[in-house]
Structure 1
Amino acid sequence: MEEKGTVLIVDDSAGDRALFRTILARAGYTVFEVDQGSETLAKALE
């Protein structure tokens, strides 16, 4: 499957992150996730 892009999921609910990660990964996206807003900028800049 061809990679469509990269998605950063930011949510404090581990269950929601897992659900979105699974759906997006199956659709061909590279998925990164963080559970706190304070980590978002650092992860986005990686």
Structure 2
Amino acid sequence: MKRDGRTFDHQTLEAIRLMAIERVREGERPADVIASYGFNRTTIYKWINA
């Protein structure tokens, strides 16, 4: 099931972003991290670059 990030409130989405970025910094593959949250693969790269 794909999730639409636009349906989450700002606080929830920010928490997901921070957790995802931390997991990538700890060595997990970005594609695997974002898949575990159910978001589109390109989303994680936007978060990393920001």
Higher relative contact order (CA 8 A, sep 6+): 1
Q: What TM-score does the superposition give when structure 1 sets the normalisation length?
A: 0.39
Bigger proportion of residues as helix: 2
